[in-house]
């Protein structure tokens, strides 16, 4: 192991020793301790760089029926939920943490959104967690950014079943996850950890005992959303997920290797093209901004991008 990584270890041990014992409510404790969000704030993944956000908006505009709501699963402080709402989508944010949802509501009130999204507390890994949302919305679309890579394989399976239920016949899911394949130390190093210590947002995540991020790539996608049940309509396994700037004297977002996919459930009786068109005809606020990121269409049954 390179010496610089060996010298990182005492910092990791020091911050790790502060993590609460037991696994209950770690996310809630984490969110309850957040003072500031966005660049320069406490939350590692809450980058205000617009490029990534723009990309998801463009994918919804391309693949989702506008009449259908978007549910932002594991929404945290609601940055993406608000952006969807601002772009004209009926948006609902869901998170397991009461403190995250309280923060999402407070930030939404603070910016005084014209069309405010709603926020709800639910554990996505619980059976039936989204049943009430589904009853209210009918078929809906889903955004998942940076959630599956912090869940166990078992929890991911239940989340996928809940998503399947929420999507119904007409929804699509935009999935964006980090996919660092190297060692944990190399990952931490790529986020600015070094012999002199850890950037504050990273230290906070470790001291709160948040789950260690796991890679989430094609294998994990296939395990969670098996090909026989899910159609991949878009796939980018070289996507970038942004984190807040973490180097001294830098205001550049950190770039984490990631994965973006658009999925929809396979089914025999997909709505006819005319029904789909009727869905598209519902009004939505247009936005002239151009798309970011290239779509690489994937034929049914294929995982690798063409
Ligand atoms: C890495 S953060 C990403 C937040 C947000 N999607 C974003 O990109 O800004 C993961 C989020 O998932 C939430 N979360 C973790 N496990 C969850 C579960 N079982 N059900 C619902 N939310 C969960 C956490 O509270 C946290 O807000």
Contact 234, 262 (CB under 8 A): yes
Average pLDDT over residues 112-135: 91
Q: How far is CA 58 from CA 28, 33, 279, 286, in A?
A: 31, 33, 18, 12
The token duo for 26 is 């770690």
The residue whose CA is least distant from atom 10 of ligand 1 is 147
Contact 167, 71 (CB under 8 A): no
Average pLDDT over residues 137-161: 96
Atom of ligand 1 nearest to the CA of 28: 25
Per domain, the residue ranges of the chain are 3-226+235-280
What is residue 147's predicted lDDT score, i.e. its pLDDT?
97
Contacts (Cβ under 8 Å, ≥6 apart) of 102: none
Average pLDDT over residues 30-46: 95
Instruction: Give per-residue pLDDT as tens, 194-235.
Output: 888 999 999 999 999 999 888 899 999 999 999 999 999 999
Per-residue pLDDT band at 7 (split at 50, 70, 90): confident
Mean of the per-residue pLDDT values for the chain?
86
Contacts (Cβ under 8 Å, ≥6 apart) of 180: 186, 187, 190, 213, 215, 256, 257
Per-residue pLDDT band at 273 (split at 50, 70, 90): very low
**What is the pTM for the complete model shown?**
0.87
Contact 140, 68 (CB under 8 A): yes
| Among 57, 73, 96, 144, residue to substitute to test ligand 1 (most atoms within 8 Å of Cβ) | 96
What is residue 200's predicted lDDT score, i.e. its pLDDT?
93
| Among 26, 76, 78, 102, residue to substitute to test ligand 1 (most atoms within 8 Å of Cβ) | 76
What is residue 249's predicted lDDT score, i.e. its pLDDT?
75
Q: Is the pLDDT of residue 53 over 70?
A: yes
**Euclidean distance between CA atoms 133 and 110, whole angstroms:** 25
What is residue 300's predicted lDDT score, i.e. its pLDDT?
31
Q: Is the pLDDT of residue 141 over 80?
A: yes
What is residue 194's predicted lDDT score, i.e. its pLDDT?
87
What is residue 115's predicted lDDT score, i.e. its pLDDT?
73
- Please give the residue that has the higher pLDDT: either 296 or 261: 261
Contact 163, 73 (CB under 8 A): yes
The dihedral over CA atoms of 146, 149, 150, 156, expressed in degrees to the nearest 10, equals: 110
Q: Among 41-55, 193-207, 225-239, 272-286, whose mean pLDDT is lowest?
A: 272-286
Q: Ligand 1 centre from 246 Cα, in Å?
A: 21
Average pLDDT over residues 247-261: 88
DSSP state of 149: G
Contact 125, 157 (CB under 8 A): no
What is residue 267's predicted lDDT score, i.e. its pLDDT?
80
Pocket-forming residues, ligand 1, beta carbon under 6 Å: 27, 45-46, 74-76, 79-80, 95-97, 100, 123-125, 145-147, 150
What is the percent of the chain with per-residue pLDDT over 70, rounded to a whole number?
A: 86
Q: Among 85-94, 149-158, 240-249, whose mean pLDDT is lowest?
A: 240-249
Q: Ligand 1 centre from 275 Cα, in Å?
A: 34
Q: Is the pLDDT of residue 275 over 90?
A: no
What is residue 135's predicted lDDT score, i.e. its pLDDT?
96
What is residue 159's predicted lDDT score, i.e. its pLDDT?
98
Domain at 3-226+235-280, CATH homologous superfamily? Vaccinia Virus protein VP39 (3.40.50.150)
The residue whose CA is least distant from atom 16 of ligand 1 is 96
Task: Give me the residue label for tokens 């796939």.
Answer: 235
């Amino acid at each position: 192991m390179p010496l610089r990584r060996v010298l990182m270890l005492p910092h990791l041990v020091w911050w790790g020793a502060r993590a609460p014992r037991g696994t209950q409510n770690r996310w809630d404790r984490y969110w309850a301790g957040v003072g500031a969000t966005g660049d320069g704030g406490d939350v590692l993944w809450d980058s205000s760089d617009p490029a990534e956000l723009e990309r998801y908006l463009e994918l919804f505009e391309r693949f989702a029926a506008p009449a259908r709501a978007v549910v932002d699963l594991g929404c945290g402080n609601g940055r993406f939920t608000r952006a969807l709402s601002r772009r004209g989508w009926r948006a609902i944010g869901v998170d397991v943490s009461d403190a995250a949802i309280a923060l999402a509501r407070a930030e939404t009130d603070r910016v005084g959104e014209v069309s405010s999204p709603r926020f709800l507390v639910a554990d996505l890994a619980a059976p039936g967690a989204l049943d009430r949302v589904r009853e209210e919305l009918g078929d809906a679309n889903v955004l998942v950014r940076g959630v599956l890579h912090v869940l166990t394989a078992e929890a991911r399976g239940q989340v996928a079943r809940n998503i399947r239920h929420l999507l119904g016949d007409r929804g699509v899911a935009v999935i964006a996850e980090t996919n660092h394949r190297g060692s944990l130390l190399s990952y931490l190093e790529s986020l600015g950890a070094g012999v002199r210590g850890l950037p504050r947002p990273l230290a906070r995540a470790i001291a709160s005992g948040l789950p260690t991020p796991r890679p989430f790539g094609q294998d994990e996608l296939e395990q969670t959303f098996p090909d026989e049940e899910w159609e991949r309509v878009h796939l980018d396994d070289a996507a970038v997920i942004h984190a807040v700037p973490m180097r001294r004297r830098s205001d550049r977002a950190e770039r984490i290797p990631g994965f973006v996919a658009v999925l929809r459930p396979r089914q025999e009786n997909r709505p006819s093209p005319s029904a789909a068109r009727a869905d598209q005809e519902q009004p939505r606020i247009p936005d002239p901004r151009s798309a970011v990121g290239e779509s690489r269409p994937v034929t049914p049954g294929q995982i690798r991008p063409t």
